[in-house]
Structure 1
Amino acid sequence: MPEQHSPALTPQTFALRARTARDRAGLTRPVAGGLVGRSAEWVKGIETGTIGMPRLPMLIRLATVYECDVADLTGDDRIAAATYTKSAHADLPLIKRALTTYQLTPGDTEPEPAAALSARVQQAWKLWHGQGDHRSRVAALLPDLLADTQRSARALNGADRRRALVAQAQAYHLAQLFLSFQPAPDLVMLTGDRSMTAAQDADSPRAMASAAWYMNHIYRDANEATLARAELAEQASALLGQEDEEDLARWGLLQLAVALSYAKIGREGQAWHYWDRANDAARRLGPGYAHPWLIFGQGIVDAYALTMHNDLLQPGKALEVAQALDVSRIPSATRRSYHLIETARAYGMKDEGVAAVALLQKAHRESPETITFNMHTRMVLPELAKTGPRMVRDDAHALAVTLGIPV
């Protein structure tokens, strides 16, 4: 009898790979389209094959939004999205070494008192939220801070050990923030896990709540396990009371985390339900309140409403929020810069390039390293420099060159 051959497997098409990547990212077609500056119908056309494979710049934008490699979309494993989209900070190797260096023996050095560690961590937070190159300044402190909190957490006992563990969790939060938008997603996950572990070992509901916020915050920006992080934030908020100022601030922050997670995937009703709860907490804390390092307060709640409208593809409503938003109420240069970028994103969605570039320039003056490592900025500036309104092309090109973005 003639030899029987199995039918050849049908290779995956670009359309199927694009649909699979979007599903894995947990994004609806309208949300995915909005994040890359296209319509839901365009995304549908890509996924049904009625629109062919786009050019490399759009492939990179899709891969960034779906948090995958370009190879996952094209089938060509020689191209990786991180090569084109994520710029590495000069101090990234330093932080990598600090996170993978282990002190297995106690050594001769006396453990630092928990109060002294806490003071050093608070100083590092001031540098993170201050003017100038915040990543570079914090990177200079992190290796010693991580090592010293580890040493003290091992050597101290009782309440002092728990306080050292709380300081350690915060040191890992700072490392998480440094690693955000860097080509090191594995380290982001590592620091998130270590911060939560330290908070749990400290048996501190406040520390666990803070860890839940930063895990949600970082992974949401990376489109990673969004709903799982929302559930974590809800669980952590249940650990807190609402009468004490510290507890209320963290409780409100976690309501905001859930709201942002739902907005990211287009669930508008649930998003605004949790935003209302965060807004209520901010109002109870008073108009002048802002947490010293979590920065929760009315300014942040108002500013994140703008981000939520952007994620829900409502740039007009986002700009209505922006008109009334006073970023000077936010005592953090990094957060002010971020929310200026978000305002620029809203203007960009309405094809108002002049306003978008002006706001990006302002964000750069506010916090250079915030905008340098912001993915939205890195995607839109080259396009504005080449195809934007004539009156902004030179400004967009100059800013891209300043930030080291290829144009």
Structure 2
Amino acid sequence: MYSPNVRIGDQIRRYRKTNGNRSQAAIAGLCGISVRYMSMIENNQRTPAPDLLSRFAVVLGVPVALLLSENATPKPKRFNSVTNDVSRALFGHVPAQNDTAISPAELRLRVERAWLSWQTSQTRFTEAERDLPPLIADVDCALHQVPSASDARARRENLRTAADLYGLLRSYCRRAGRPDLSAIVADRAIRAADDADDPVLMAIARWNMGHVLLSDPREEAAEEAEEIALTAIEQIRRERSSPELTAMQGALELVAVVSEARRREWWKARNRLEKNAGLLATRAGESNVGRTVFGPTNVQLHRLSIEMLAGESAEALRLADQVDAQDLPSRERQFTFGLDVARCYDMRREDPAVFVHLLNLEELAPEDLARSPQALALVRGLLKRVRPTYRRQVTDLADRLGLS
């Protein structure tokens, strides 16, 4: 256990203030604890368990050892500039970590680890903001250090890795509030996949671009997303069939489904979901090709989403009762499912159910909850109409999210 000579609470308070001067509520929310418990820890009235101490270290941006040492002084960390660091790396302003070329296998392993963190970690934003800038720089350096004529195999592997990394960056930039960067990296993914001449990656890259367009507020963007998805499906049909391409065809059909739903073409969306995506999901089974999490469960989640968007909250909740999202390989997809259910209850003004699902989302993915405009809107709505019997609990949640 911890040495009694070290006042861990003092160290946590110290690094909370020096590394960004963030509020107790902000740190508590990211660590998944109440503000009251956070205060008790900083006042040395409670000692955090090892797993909670590790979460503190990640959120505060310091090694666990520094929280157990009274004398170590870390270099202050600049917060609210992490997206700028990613941007700087994307435009070549972050130097590579190594002067010599990194092997394609090592780069591939680092990107795989980054993806694993992004899909499974509760603190995925904190980890991405730390790991992505140097990884971007090293992948870019590898692409420039291996000319296509000198080692075609290494060049192709680096292009494949770059396309995969740009897919991760598309997701990160979108959720970090930078749709401009999301579009840029999605375009880079397409170019890298095309240069690698990899049919699966080419489909994945266009799936990513489809999601960029689905996030675009322009009225015509949804139609553009459907067009790029259907064009990619036609390209897949010209290739030799494989399980990976079957899964990607299904994932692209879901892009078209969402596009039709966004345009309020409900029956068209339902028909495509059942006749196209549903049949492909049966063939592909549960998968995670291209990190799309395509399979029967994901199709069921889209059924729920369509009914929610159509205003059919009762039908959406009936479908939700048939879904088990716990085994999905993506915490983000689990979060989206829970958020859709909370939104359905919000449509019915069943506030206790909304609140319970928001608490579940906070436990599942606290950083996603703090960054989700839709989730924050639900919390603000609860604050306006909450009943006195659980007003304090809702207020505590709002405090942890920095809303009050």
**TM-score (normalised: structure 1):** 0.72
| Correspondence list, 1:43-62, <5 A | none
| Correspondence list, 1:270-285, <5 A | 270-276=268-274, 277-285=276-284
* Equivalent residue, structure 1, for 2:250: 252
Asked if the contact 2:206–2:228 (Cα under 8 Å) also holds between the matched residues in 1, the reply is yes
Asked if the contact 1:385–1:392 (Cα under 8 Å) also holds between the matched residues in 2, the reply is no
For 1:235, the aligned partner's letter is T
Counterpart secondary structure, 1:110 = coil
Identify the range of structure 1 (243-252 vs 212-221) with the bigger mean alpha-carbon deviation.
212-221
Asked if the contact 1:237–1:251 (Cα under 8 Å) also holds between the matched residues in 2, the reply is yes
* Equivalent residue, structure 1, for 2:361: 363
- TM-fit CA distance, 1:344: 0.4
Alignment partners' CA distance in 2, 1:99 and 1:363: 31
- TM-fit CA distance, 1:203: 2.2
The structure 2 residue matched to 1:317, chosen from 307, 315, 318, is 315
- TM-fit CA distance, 1:181: 3.6
Alignment partners' CA distance in 2, 1:150 and 1:108: 12
CA separation of 1:384 and 1:329: change in aligned 2, threshold 3 A: same
**TM-score (normalised: structure 2):** 0.73
- TM-fit CA distance, 1:371: 1.5
CA separation of 1:177 and 1:289: change in aligned 2, threshold 3 A: closer
CA separation of 1:280 and 1:307: change in aligned 2, threshold 3 A: same
* Equivalent residue, structure 2, for 1:126: 116
Residue 177 of structure 1 pairs with residue 179 of structure 2: no
- TM-fit CA distance, 1:192: 1.9
For 1:153, the aligned partner's letter is L
- TM-fit CA distance, 1:103: 8.0
CA separation of 1:401 and 1:335: change in aligned 2, threshold 3 A: same
Alignment partners' CA distance in 1, 2:114 and 2:98: 26
CA separation of 1:189 and 1:292: change in aligned 2, threshold 3 A: closer
The alignment yields a C-alpha RMSD, in angstroms, of 2.4
* Equivalent residue, structure 2, for 1:69: none
The structure 2 residue matched to 1:231, chosen from 205, 208, 227, is 227
Task: Give structure 1 regions of 4+ aligned residues with deviation exceeding 6 angstroms.
Answer: none
Alignment partners' CA distance in 2, 1:318 and 1:377: 18
Asked if the contact 1:216–1:230 (Cα under 8 Å) also holds between the matched residues in 2, the reply is yes
| Correspondence list, 1:121-270, <5 A | 121-156=111-146, 157=148, 158-224=152-218, 225-240=221-236, 241=239, 243-270=241-268
Asked if the contact 1:386–1:393 (Cα under 8 Å) also holds between the matched residues in 2, the reply is no
CA separation of 1:391 and 1:226: change in aligned 2, threshold 3 A: farther
CA separation of 1:391 and 1:370: change in aligned 2, threshold 3 A: same
> Per-residue CA shift, 1:74-93, capped at 9, x if unaligned?
xxxxxxxxxxxxxx966222
* Equivalent residue, structure 1, for 2:82: 91
* Equivalent residue, structure 1, for 2:7: none
Structure 1: gaps of 5 or more residues: 1-87
Asked if the contact 1:289–1:297 (Cα under 8 Å) also holds between the matched residues in 2, the reply is yes
CA separation of 1:351 and 1:244: change in aligned 2, threshold 3 A: same
- TM-fit CA distance, 1:402: 1.1
Structure scoring higher RCO (CA < 8 A, sep ≥ 6) equals 2
Paired residues, what number? 317
Alignment partners' CA distance in 2, 1:108 and 1:400: 44
For 1:189, the aligned partner's letter is A
- TM-fit CA distance, 1:155: 2.7
- TM-fit CA distance, 1:257: 0.9
Asked if the contact 1:112–1:148 (Cα under 8 Å) also holds between the matched residues in 2, the reply is yes
- TM-fit CA distance, 1:254: 0.4
The structure 2 residue matched to 1:384, chosen from 382, 386, 390, is 382
Counterpart secondary structure, 1:180 = helix
Counterpart secondary structure, 2:321 = helix
For 2:282, the aligned partner's letter is R
Asked if the contact 1:135–1:369 (Cα under 8 Å) also holds between the matched residues in 2, the reply is yes
- TM-fit CA distance, 1:365: 0.7
Counterpart secondary structure, 1:117 = helix
For 2:229, the aligned partner's letter is A
- TM-fit CA distance, 1:270: 2.2
Asked if the contact 2:305–2:316 (Cα under 8 Å) also holds between the matched residues in 1, the reply is yes
CA separation of 1:326 and 1:242: change in aligned 2, threshold 3 A: farther
Identify the range of structure 1 (289-298 vs 169-178) with the bigger mean alpha-carbon deviation.
289-298
